[in-house]
Structure 1
């Protein structure tokens, strides 16, 4: 059979399959995303060669409040309350159009397929860990890209625990306000089941305006997946906290622990409030204290506040200010990566501010 016949046959088969799927499928596919960019000022950055002050930074930030992303998500009704689901999500950098806010790949934030029904939800592929989602939910500044627990998370373990490749997860239905989830990520190394292995679990309880949340994470070094930045920092993580919503105000408090293999064991105590002063005006503030149990002279105190004014349901203008004070070997920065050195800050006090615009579609 010549090449033209092979191509023709393959096209015919593909077309038949597409028409068959189209005829039976009852579902939807949605394109969504966020474009967020702004100007960032930092009074100090870390000189990674000397460990001292690398000077001020003024420049663009790819995501000041939210990560800039785009993605596709879809469902198909399979009958009997069962649905097929999928998501493909990419992080982007509006300043240059490149990849950002992900693990370095095209769909480097989430790329999974799964089933959802009365039994709960099962997903397979690249996805957020229950530990990461719990930390996100307990952040009073909603995981802002400036001055939030996200900066502390990234400073400790980079993207480990956020973008988990080769993962299978299960999330239960809500029963009496209680919901659990668990994830296991395979390292993908032949003959070595432990290399790169990651697992996580979460338990959440909601009653009225009160939410209690706790999660666990454990990861091993190695694995077959290569990400940029590195996504296989071996650590054990724990988080527990509570949130209470009353009217337009939500108050949150949490404790987190990052026990990094061969590195620090940082305990993080934090809390803050989020307040919708007007339907179109959101105000929030948070404060965190980070202490290394292995070296108590190494500690940081970070605080930040921000305001977002929504011009519409999709577009908002924001301004944020923050400060971090580092002692000993602590090098916490205010943002997880607007510039090569902005994730870290030298000893002493660093102040920062950002203004920008965010559009959701």
Structure 2
């Protein structure tokens, strides 16, 4: 009876909330070349309806329960989908293939357990000149090198500290899930962020092994690689400048070193323009290199809906086949390929 009464009192005082949210994004894409995966050459130009031309289409829910004393339980479930055909997409192709975690927040920091983004990916995102657009951004170079490894991390346990004197640290360990072999599929990542007024500096690392249970999901996230990242951003009122260096050292493949820089400028509250350049060099073979450059403009029709246009080009040499768009043009042939897309994005 006492236990029941105690439980009732807890329910009466705890405050909880659940929020449903999502993004629906669609565009028309043109590239003057496409990749023939057999020959490595072009099979001609393309016009296509493209899911997620700027941001990945998704829906999800997040919730929290306040325990008092600055502590609360949190959870988030997020599913990616393709607006082109309604199938799973922009994730690891599971139901909640983008995020699925539970955690606790307090004044001592945040602990999460489950499928989540790595500190390495979040640091790269933070200093990308075009905020990881699905067309012409650091997200394209990220996926070209390691696909979704480090982006969607199954079996993850993470800790993020509070910000102290401008410093904030994060660490993640993702267990491989293979009985008898702790190293199979094991992934770990850490980052350190310094924030002082308009200045932000990010440093991060990642180490991932092949194998483990994550190798059996529809889109595996266990590319064996070591990653390093260092970048900074500085905001001058409506102008933001960003620059970074990211290394993707992939076992048995490229040792890609990506240098990027760019800017974003808010012309009016509704109109924004940005641009960036990403130069990739293979540390194992200098003949493998790539240059990606792009620019984009967005116009807010309302608080929830924007229209956008993006143009860019990528030049590949040697064995590199970097692309322009996450969907429909992730890999492109040698030589120079130009492309553009126009679309609309609605958030709810």
TM-score band, normalised by shorter chain: over 0.9
Q: Work out whether 1:196 is the aligned partner of 2:185.
A: yes
Q: Is the 8 A contact 1:158 1:229 kept in 2?
A: no
1:26 is displaced (CA, Å) by 1.0
Which residue does 1:213 correspond to in 2? 202
Q: Work out whether 1:291 is the aligned partner of 2:281.
A: yes
Q: Work out whether 1:350 is the aligned partner of 2:337.
A: yes
1:343 is displaced (CA, Å) by 1.1
1:170-189 matched pairs, under 5 angstroms: 170-189=159-178
1:28-55 alpha-carbon deviations (Å, 9 max, x no partner): 0000011110101111111111111122
Aligned residue among 301, 317, 327 for 1:311:
301
Q: Is the 8 A contact 2:14 2:68 kept in 1?
A: no
Which residue does 1:3 correspond to in 2? none
Q: Is the 8 A contact 1:217 1:237 kept in 2?
A: yes
Separation in structure 1 between the aligned mates of residue 333 and residue 154 of structure 2, nearest angstrom: 33
1:97 is displaced (CA, Å) by 0.8
1:81 is displaced (CA, Å) by 0.8
Helix, strand or coil for the counterpart of 1:153?
A: helix
Q: Work out whether 1:130 is the aligned partner of 2:119.
A: yes
Helix, strand or coil for the counterpart of 2:256?
A: strand
Separation in structure 2 between the aligned mates of residue 319 and residue 46 of structure 1, nearest angstrom: 23
Helix, strand or coil for the counterpart of 2:125?
A: helix
Aligned residue among 31, 45, 68 for 2:57:
68
- Structure 1 residue runs of 5 or longer lacking an equivalent are 1-17
1:215-234 matched pairs, under 5 angstroms: 215-225=204-214, 226-234=216-224
Separation in structure 1 between the aligned mates of residue 266 and residue 126 of structure 2, nearest angstrom: 17
- Structure 2 residue runs of 5 or longer lacking an equivalent are 1-6
Report the TM-score when normalising by structure 1: 0.93
Q: Is the 8 A contact 1:34 1:70 kept in 2?
A: yes
Helix, strand or coil for the counterpart of 1:333?
A: strand
Which residue does 2:346 correspond to in 1? 359
1:191-239 alpha-carbon deviations (Å, 9 max, x no partner): 0000000000000001110001010000000001223333110000111
Which residue does 2:239 correspond to in 1? 249
1:254-309 alpha-carbon deviations (Å, 9 max, x no partner): 00000000001000000100111110011100001100010101100110000000
Separation in structure 2 between the aligned mates of residue 51 and residue 219 of structure 1, nearest angstrom: 28
Separation in structure 2 between the aligned mates of residue 175 and residue 300 of structure 1, nearest angstrom: 39
1:22 is displaced (CA, Å) by 5.7
Helix, strand or coil for the counterpart of 2:24?
A: strand
Separation in structure 1 between the aligned mates of residue 35 and residue 127 of structure 2, nearest angstrom: 28
Separation in structure 1 between the aligned mates of residue 22 and residue 12 of structure 2, nearest angstrom: 29
Separation in structure 1 between the aligned mates of residue 86 and residue 312 of structure 2, nearest angstrom: 27
* Runs of 4 or more consecutive aligned structure 1 residues displaced over 3 Å after TM superposition: 18-25
1:319 is displaced (CA, Å) by 0.2
Higher mean C-alpha displacement, 227-236 vs 184-193: 227-236
Aligned residue among 76, 81, 104 for 1:92:
81
Separation in structure 1 between the aligned mates of residue 278 and residue 39 of structure 2, nearest angstrom: 27
